[in-house]
Structure 1
Amino acid sequence: MWQAVPRPTSVTVRTGPTAFAGRGEELAAVAEVLTHRPAAVLVEGEPGMGRSRLLAELARRPEFADGRVLRGVCQPLREPFPYGPVLEALHAAGERPLGPLSPVAGVLRPLLPELADRLPPTPEPLDDPGAQRHRVFRAVRELFVACGPTILLVDDLQWADEGTCDLMRFLAADLPPELAVVAAYRTGAQPWPGPLGAPVRAAPSVHTARVTLGPLDVAAVRAMAVHVLELPRVSDEFATKLHECTGGIPFVVEETLRALRDVPLPAGEGLSDRLLENLEVPAPLRESVMERLAALPAEAAQLTRAAAVLAEPAEPATLAEVAGLGEESLRAALLAALAGGLVAELGENRYGFRHPLARKAVYDTVSGPERTLLHTESMRVLGALPAPSPLLLAQHAFAAGRTEKWLRYAEVAADEAIVHGETSRAIDLLQAVLSASDDVGRLATKLSQVALRGFRPDVIETLERVLEDRPLPPTVRGTIRLSLGLLLVRTIGRLERGREEVERAVAELVDRPELEARGINLLAQPIDGLTPLSWHEGWMRRAREVHSGLTDPELRLALTVDRITNASHLGDGSAWPEFETLPDVGDSVAERVQLARLWCNLADAQSWAGHLDRATRLVEEGARRASDAGALYAIGLIQGTHARLAWFRGEWDGLAETAEDVRSRYPELRRIVMETSLVLGGLAAVRGEFAAAAEHLARASVPADGPIPVVLSAASVRIGILLASDDVAGACAVAEVAVDAARRKGVWVWAASLVPAAAEAFARAGRWSDADALVEEFARGITGRDAPLAAAALPAGRAILTGARGKHLAAAAGFDAAAAAYARLPMPYLATSMVERAACLRLLAGQRPAVDALSAAARAYERLGATRDAGRCHHLLREHGAWAPSSRGRRGYGRELSPREREVARMLAEGRTNREIADGLFLSPRTVEQHVAKVLRKLGARGRADVGRHLPSGDAAVS
């Protein structure tokens, strides 16, 4: 946290300004005032708040393009130039014609040689300096009048010389009628009489405003991150952490992001809190901090350095004691530090740094011996407080080189973090202590147990190293190995290795029946991999046998949680009533973690079964419980389940971004990666983005390692894509692998999405025996099961086979039944697809009224965002002559994009070819060419690659 290291060699390249974010309201308000002349606006803010950027954005506003926009900046010079910023601004006044000028304007010839040919002759100088100065003021005002509509932007007014202040007050008292002045200045902690050294009184006719710029909010920080890092999105967690690290100060946010952009990400790691915490202080920010620190008096600088070492906001007395300042010098030192802008009041009588990077920059200036002394003093002072923080004491002890004290404090801090559900912090502390302690078995056991609450791949490496390098008693080895196995089974590609470790642990834990029971319980979980259900059922029986002998309430609850979840996954109707009999609260953190796990795991099981309303309630409550208990692994799982539920329920607005965000935060957590990839693949498929869908679905199709319901669902989407492309052989190949996986697993309720798709593939290939056998095997497998989704899939599968045999009306009735069943769940996309199939079959049977149902299906697809399906329906309606324009005539869209043109524009922005657009929207290539030409013309795009930049934000392509 405090470690100061030599800065590595680096090259910093700036590539222009970042996106202007978070100041839209302020900018619009100032622009509105400036349209009413004369006008005067003051913009104030602490250093780094973006005053100069606001002025730059004002200068670029299109509504001011017809007039002059003149800019001047006050410089922090030892001997400022008289009237410097105003004359700097006026030197560009001659770029446009000027109005008439009286002889008094000639006094400006020596001051503005750029305008010498536009100004009258220089009058004879006056003997009285005051009168001469008044003449200059009058000349400046007259020149502004001659400029016509003008905006004068003056920046850093706090550094204005006395002459400039007098001139600005003179102008404010009688502003030219077409002049608007915007002056920006820096505020500080000390009282200040105003930007011009005295109150300014504008004439009643002047429109005025004062804008105070504070820190950006999280949304604006996120927008800057997306722009600077050139990413489609960043997670809420990262944006919040970035906001915390930078205090929302625009300058600090920008420099942090520029520095972060040049940092290579560790393999498999995305943007993370850890990355921000370890980031080197950006050079421009470090220079700014050093400049302010150097300007402080010696005692104020010492107080600031003490605050940097303490790190946490502290009371003045604590700061003084650490800094070695007496009571008589504390007040002056604190006031000077506040005026310098580095230290701020962050709570009632508590002082510290506005953001961690400023603290780190100051900390890096502290020499090694002084650093050790200040950390030692901090440890002494904080240790004498009534309730000292063991975490802070541990950090100071480590930085001071007091190893024994650090080990003791750090373990106490880890225990405290465990009690409060701060899982990541506890893991960090225990791993650090474990690396330096001889008490490896006890600490590794504690680490292995708390690690199960979260998912940290680095813990797996630590536990493997302990088991390999250290001789440990069998029970200790078994305890650590059990947790290692539990972590491995969650990791991509390591399921079987994890189960092997758990089986070994069970054998090593014969003397610890409660730990042995945890291993047995894990092996009873059937959802992952191709191991047959029958194998898991053996472990389920053992779990029931050991449950009655357990005395630990948390462990009894854990086994109960998994028994209920397993029963629900298998379609056992007793699961839900048993869940409803369980208590809502636990007596300990461990029990609360288990109850959070129950809500999260049962939400997953109930969603696969088709009880979507139940699952939705469980997700909402489970997320709250997991967060409160610090059950990080459960938090991740519930986010994956939530995304899939939204996909099932047709709640697709913003879902792709949500799923991408969840996946990026858990890149090594197998179940979350596969579940979110299934959602992303499904969304891409319904938009006709088959290549993107295939890429996503490949991540969700790992039968040997992943959750089988996800694998089978991914196979169903892949089969649908292949059939839509008339690749029947490819569809059958995918179906064969997936059906084999379903048969090997033996849990047919998980095949609800697979069976209709696989049956259609087999039927289109003429493999009737395979198709019939699959549907009937599925029917037998779900008999008596509490699985509404499977119950809806069965009539769908049978109707597909009936329709394929040419029995159109009988099949349509089957699809009607399936549509009603899917609608009850509710799964609107599948329900709509059943309506479409039924309507198409009735049209084939000559029942003309079915066009109404087909039209309804097209509208339903459009509401969902299933553009390809909607296009297919419209194509079929045109073929049947049922596509009729409104009786009021076609709407004229003028320069706006029509709905169809918006669809084409989005697909162009995604890089789709005309042929791909035609296939996705079921249009002819010629029609697509016409739409593309209109899109380019209406958007003013130079070419296809330029469309995305011109699309309105609401029409932007969803990746």
Structure 2
Amino acid sequence: MWLTAPRPTSVSVRSGPARLTGRDTELDAIVDVLKRRPAAVLIEGEPGMGRTRLLAEIGRRKEFEGSRVLTGACQPLREPFPYGPVLEALRAVGDTPLGPLSPVAGVLRPLLPELAEALPPRPEPLADPVAERHRVFRAVRELLRACGPALVLIDDLQWADEDTRDLMRFLAGTMPPELAVVATFRSATDVRPGPLGAPFRTDPAVHSARVALGALDVTAVRKLAVEILELPRVTDEFAAKLHECTAGIPFVVEETLRALREAAERLPVGEILSDRMLENLEVPVLLREAVTERLSALPEPAVRLAGAAAVLGVGAEAGVLGELAGLPDDVLRTALLAALSGGVLGEVGDGKYGFRHPLARKAVYDTVTGPERALLHAQAIRVLAAQPSPPLTLLARHSRAAGRVDQWRHYAEAAADEAVTRGETSRAIDLLQSVLAEPGPAQSDAGRVAGKLSQVALRGFRPDVIGTLERVLEEVTLPPSVRGSIRLSLGMLQVRTLGGLGRGRLEVERAIGELTDRPDLAARGITLLAQPIDGLTPLSWHESWRARAGEVYERLDDPELRLALTADRIAAASHVGDGSAWTEFEALPDTVGTVAERVQLARLWCNLADGQSWAGHLDRAERLVTEGVRRATDAGALYAIGLIQGTRVRLDWVRGRWSGLAEAAEQLRDSYPELGPIVMESSLVLGGLAAVRGEFAAAQRHLTAASVHAPDRGPIPVVLSAAGVLITVLLATDDVDGACAAADTAVAAAGRKGVWIWAAALVPAAAQAYARAGRWPEADNVVEAFARGIEDRDAPVATAALIAGRAVLLEARGKQLAAAALFDEAAAGYAALPMPYPATGMRERAAMCRLAAGNRDAVEELTAAAEAYEQLGATRDAGRCRHQLREHGAWAPSQRGRRGYGSELSPREREVARMLAEGRTNREIADGLFLSPRTVEQHVAKVLRKLGARSRTDVARKLPGEVTTAPAG
């Protein structure tokens, strides 16, 4: 068998099979049948579906610990041994005593010499071979009856000899009462009625089932990926791509993941697994061997047909494949049937034939010789180009593989144009990137293609495009307008990257200077510089660009460009709390014509959702997020989709929807590791969740990633919110100096920027830090600057925060009842948004102020706050409230006495158990639940005893699922 190129030396180490995944339903159903003896189960599936793994798992189930488990397997031999798998299984029956055996069992002595001492004497052979064969069947049944409760597992029945098949049919008809049999077989590729050569029938008294194993779903594939790659999680996109590449076939999934793990070990530090790495993966060795083994068993015309299908690369009708392979119709039918029955090709829908998954196609492709491959690619161009609607992407690929470079450039650019029209952003970027990466195009061609790439790249986020555009600008001589257009897009892409804000804005300003004769293009750069949300540049600077954008807008005729400027103007106004933004948005048309206009409208929904969420219009933001995702997906606006996912996780955070949120935020950050706004926004959410759980070190790490210490690098609303969380964390650890330092940096940033509504999460925390440090001028100044800054702004969250800040100052000055009234007002403001966590915090502080003033009625308010915290999942805050209740003598035992939980965990023990599973020390648990170390020691001892855990590290494995899943993430 030819291979296209020698493969590099490699070492593939296998550490045993992965855990059986995605078969729980089938396994439970099979076990349920097998428990009701006598029982017989047939398991069928295509190669690689995991029949053998499932069989082994059945044998290990605890339900069969009291039974003899006897295992045998058929082998793909040219001349199989008579009764081979059954005799292999029966060899082990002598390990434990047998029941009474009739004399007929003695005929098995020659077949099972290992059992000679346990078997009766061999009777005289019968002259009639048929009668002797029948006596062997009876002897096997007698031996199985003497085994008592027994489970017989026979694998790969499709390779069984005729004697074994007859014996299995005999046993199915008259099974011993305590016997259960499970047999697996490969799904039939011929016309035989079943694995036994006849329909599978059992005695009516036998409980039976037939199970057909299909492909794994995406969820099961994701679980396998997490286990084999030894990662805490994988993204939805990676799991979907892995499922697509492997068709969900367990063997293919497992081998692909093993190959990926080995490839990942060779990655440079800092690089991560990606979809591209999956696409470029070499075919795993065992998978390659499995495919080539099947290929070698086919007749020569079928091999040619499979090679043609591999070169074509997509499912096609039989006539197309036959034309490529050069097979006449009479030969084509026989060859196709052979390829189908041999499991090399399959039906892929609509009368088309191809490969089940890309790796099988690649394995066959590698067996086609170089000259033959080039000829097939050239033939594919001719066949595909003659179709009524030529597949441009396929034509480009075949042109390149055939060495026709000019033809490839033509088809690739045309395919990219088609992808742009259809909203297929990623495909368009890939095609245009490939054209620019190939040396040789004329400068005019390079400028045209780079211009197209620079425009479509703005719909998505691909950091590799930045390098391509920089290279074109450096190496290719271009007219000023073309150069300015490409530079403009380059700057807009750089602004989105981590640490690229300053460099990107400089590129945009340069581009505007190069586009003096193209005001329509310059307008895009002008409106970008008018957006105030990023960096520390004062709002007044952005407003000057906003005025220029308004002047340019009046001279524009292009509907898409006018819509783009309108969208940016509305979003910018919303972000700074201008109430007219929502009125103007509601007046816009709901639908537009072209894909480009749909992209702009989707972008507006996404950006406006962000602006409205920061202002505190959370219900509006929720509706905008839902509709914005739909619009952005339909239009192929990938960058907008990423941004709005960041808004979504932050909305879930502020609205108290914390279950599973930490995992969602981690996954989002992993999906866009170089997209600055998403990394920072998801890090803010992770920092906030960690702070609520009392994981202060983790909180500070996440908040650093949210640019809390470098406010000039990211979205200022994120930075200021992160600062508010950080100050709270530092105050909780009594680091007042650190809290004041963080407040100094953030307050200076807010003052320099001049958009105070973004400081809603910062101001109450900063006022608290300054008051605790005795820095009263700073405490008063920050609250009053905030009050002036939000005046006449449409930002309900800022209004609530201002009341909270003033309440903090009153409380710090000892005016408890006045502070309590303002805390109540702030709580009502937050609850109306709704933002339940700060609302509960305000209710707690109001209650504490009243208790400090001697009002014992506030005990009920504090109790209600504790219960609200618990419902949110804020166990540390709930513990603080309970601690204060005990300090004020407000806790009283139930009149009915304490409930006894016996061997079950009490609610407090469940909290302790969850913290143990997270790796917390006793001191950390005590701090998080506001308990004494001695009390925690007692709870830990009870948890270990009730769970039967050998150590603290064993708790996570022993915990019930509903305990290990903490509401806070």
Range of TM-score over shorter length: over 0.9
Rounded to whole Å, the distance in 2 between the matches of 1:20 and 1:894 is 35
Please state how far the C-alpha of 1:626 moved relative to its aligned partner.
0.6
- The DSSP-based 3-state class of the residue aligned with 1:281 is coil
Q: In the alignment, which residue of structure 2 is the partner of 1:401? A: 403
Asked whether the 8 Å contact 2:157–2:183 carries over to 1, the reply is yes
Map 1:264-275 onto structure 2 (within 5 A).
Answer: 264=264, 265=267, 269-275=271-277
Q: 1:832-843 alignment to 2 at 5 Å?
A: 832-843=840-851
Does structure 1 residue 869 correspond to structure 2 residue 871? no
Distance in 1 between residues matched to 2:373 and 2:894, nearest whole Å: 79
Q: Contact 1:158/1:185 (CA < 8 Å) preserved in 2?
A: yes
Pairing partner for 1:676 from 668, 672, 682: 682
Aligned to 1:891: 899
Find the counterpart in structure 1 of residue 56 from structure 2. Answer: 56
Asked if the contact 1:667/1:673 (under 8 Å) is kept, the reply is yes
Matches within 5 A, 1:331-346: 331-346=333-348
| Letter of the 1:82 counterpart | P
Q: Please say if residues 877 and 883 of structure 1, whose CA atoms lie closer than 8 Å, have aligned partners that are also in contact.
A: yes
Question: Do structure 1's residue 177 and structure 2's residue 177 form an aligned pair?
Answer: yes
Distance 2:830 2:639 in 1: 31
Give the CA deviation at 1:60. 1.1
The answer as to whether partners of 1:910 and 1:957 remain within 8 angstroms in 2 is: no
Quick one: distance in 2 between partners of 1:381 and 1:200?
Answer: 47
Out of 428, 441, 458, which is 1:426 matched to? Answer: 428
| Contact kept in structure 1, 2:909 and 2:943, CA below 8 Å | yes
| 2:945 equivalent in structure 1 | 937
| Residue type at the aligned position of 1:748 | W
How far the C-alpha of 1:268 sits from its partner, in A, is 5.2
Paired letter, 1:822: Y
Superposition TM-score, scaled by structure 2 size = 0.97
Shift of 1:883: 2.4
CA contact (8 A) 1:41 1:211 kept: yes
Return 461-470 or 748-757, whichever deviates more.
Answer: 461-470
Deviation at 1:235, TM superposition (A): 1.5
Write the letter of the residue equivalent to 2:53.
Answer: R
Residues 263-311 of structure 1: CA deviation (Å, up to 9, x unaligned): 1256655443212111111111111001100011111111111111111
Structure 1 residues 449-468: aligned runs within 5 Å:
449-468=455-474
Write the letter of the residue equivalent to 1:674.
M
1:125 Cα deviation after fit: 2.4
Q: Which residue identity lines up with residue 622 of structure 1 in the other structure?
A: G
Q: CA deviation at 1:516?
A: 1.1
One-letter code aligned to 1:372:
A
1:880 paired residue number: 888
Task: Tell me which stretches of 4 or more aligned residues in structure 1 moved more than 4 Å.
Answer: 265-269
| Distance (whole Å) between structure 1 residues aligned to residue 698 and residue 239 of structure 2 | 27
Which of 342, 352, 355 is the aligned partner of 1:353? 355
Q: Matches of residues 623-634 of structure 1 in structure 2 within 5 Å? A: 623-634=629-640
Match for residue 950 of structure 1 among 938, 943, 958? 958
2:377 maps to which of 364, 375, 381 = 375
- Whether the 8 Å CA contact 1:531–1:744 is kept in 2: the answer is yes
**Paired residue type of 1:74:** C
Equivalent residue number for residue 858 of structure 2 = 850
- Which residue is 1:525 aligned to? 531
Letter in 1 for 2:110: P
Q: What letter matches 1:954 in structure 2?
A: E
- Counterpart among 274, 278, 297 of residue 299 in structure 2: 297
State the match for 1:809 in structure 2.
817
Checking the alignment, whether the CA contact within 8 Å between 1:907 and 1:957 is kept in structure 2 is: no
Comparing 757-766 with 137-146, which one deviates more in the overlay?
Answer: 137-146
Mapped to 1, the partners of 2:375 and 2:546 lie a distance apart of 60
Aligned-partner SS, 2:263: coil
SS in 1 for 2:711: coil
3-state SS of paired residue (1:99) = coil
Task: For residue 931 of structure 1, report the CA deviation from its aligned partner.
Answer: 1.6
SS of 1:668 mapped into structure 2: coil
| Alignment counterpart, residue 666 of structure 2, candidates 655, 660, 669 | 660
Q: Does the alignment pair 1:311 with 2:313?
A: yes
CA gap 1:269/1:452 in 2 versus in 1, 3 angstroms: farther
931-940 or 870-879, larger mean C-alpha shift: 931-940
User: AA paired with 1:420?
Assistant: R
Tell me, in whole angstroms, the C-alpha distance in 1 between the residues paired with 2:271 and 2:965. 26
Counterpart residue type for residue 502 of structure 1:
V
1:268–1:670 distance in 2 versus 1, CA, 3 Å? farther
Show the counterpart of 2:260: 260
- The 5 A counterparts of 1:530-541 are 530-541=536-547
CA distance in 2, matches of 1:812, 1:932: 38
Deviation digits for residues 382-406 of structure 1, max 9, x if unmatched?
Answer: 1111111111100010111111110
Separation in 1, partners of 2:109, 2:498 = 77
Of all paired residues, the percent bearing the same amino acid is 72
Consecutive unaligned residues of structure 1, counting only runs of 5 or more, are: none
Q: Classify the secondary structure of the residue corresponding to 1:262.
A: helix
Separation (CA, whole Å) in 1 of partners of 2:549 and 2:269: 39
Greater shift in the superposed pair: 192-201 or 775-784: 192-201
CA contact (8 A) 2:151 2:181 kept: yes
Report if the CA contact (8 A) 1:603-1:618 is conserved. Answer: yes
1:820 pairs, out of 828, 837, 840, with 828
Contact 1:188 1:341 in 2 (8 A): no
The counterpart of 1:513, out of the listed 511, 519, 529, is 519
Residues 793-832 of structure 1 deviation map (CA, whole Å, 9 limit, x = unaligned)? 0110000110011111110100000000000000000000
Residue 6 (structure 1) shift: 3.4
Three-state SS of the structure 2 residue aligned to 1:181 is strand
State the partner residue of 2:746: 738
Superposed CA deviations along residues 462-512 of structure 1, whole A, max 9, x for unmatched, are 111111112222111111111110001011011111100111111111010
- Name the structure 2 match of 1:198: 198
Partner of 2:418: 416
* Correspondence 1:716 to 2:724: yes
Matches within 5 A, 1:906-921: 906-921=914-929
Q: Is the 8 A contact 1:686 1:869 kept in 2?
A: yes
Question: In 2, are the aligned partners of 1:314 and 1:350 still within 8 Å (CA)?
Answer: yes
1:757 maps to a residue whose letter is A
Alignment partner of 1:92: what SS?
helix
The CA distance in 2 between the partners of 1:547 and 1:478, in whole Å, is 19
User: Does the 8 Å contact 1:713/1:753 carry over to 2?
Assistant: yes
Q: CA RMSD in A?
A: 1.3
Q: Which residue does the alignment assign to 1:81?
A: 81
Shift of 1:216: 1.1
Cα distance in 1 for partners of 2:27, 2:173 equals: 25
Query: Is 1:603 matched up with 2:618?
Result: no
Which residue identity is paired with 1:301?
Answer: V
1:385-444 deviation digits (Å, cap 9, x = unpaired)? 111111110001011111111011000000000111111111111111123322211111
Q: Which amino acid aligns with 1:872?
A: R
Q: Supply the distance in 2 between the matched residues of 1:843 and 1:178 (Cα, whole angstroms).
A: 72
TM-score (norm 1): 0.98
Which structure 2 segments of 5+ residues have no match? Answer: none
CA distances 1:299-333 after superposition (whole Å, capped 9, x unpaired):
11111111111111000000000000001111111
Q: Please give the alpha-carbon distance, in whole angstroms, between the structure 2 residues aligned to 1:884 and 1:82.
A: 79
Q: Which amino acid aligns with 1:735?
A: A
Q: Is the 8 A contact 1:571 1:609 kept in 2?
A: yes
Distance 1:603 1:100, change over 3 A: same
- Mapped partners of 1:266, 1:938: distance in 2: 46
Q: Give the residue type in structure 2 aligned to 1:630.
A: G
For the pair 1:860 / 2:862, whether they are aligned, the reply is no
CA contact (8 A) 2:192 2:198 kept: no
Supply the AA of the counterpart residue of 1:70: L
Of 582, 587, 595, which residue of structure 2 is paired with 1:581? 587
Is the aligned partner of 1:91 residue 2:91?
A: yes
**What letter matches 1:131 in structure 2?**
A
Partner deviation per Cα, 1:68-110 (whole Å, 9 max, x = no partner): 1111101111121111111111111122221111222122222
Matched-pair contact (CA < 8 Å) for 1:268–1:668: no
For 1:259 and 1:637, the matched residues in 2 are separated by 33
Amino acid at match of 1:710: V
Shift of 1:188: 3.5
CA contact (8 A) 1:732 1:758 kept: yes
Q: Is the 8 A contact 2:4 2:369 kept in 1?
A: no
Per the TM alignment, residue 5 of structure 1 is displaced from its structure 2 partner at its CA by: 4.9
Contact 1:270 1:664 in 2 (8 A): no
Partner of 2:605, secondary structure, is helix
**CA–CA separation in structure 1 for the residues paired with 2:283 and 2:200:** 40
Q: How many residues align?
A: 957
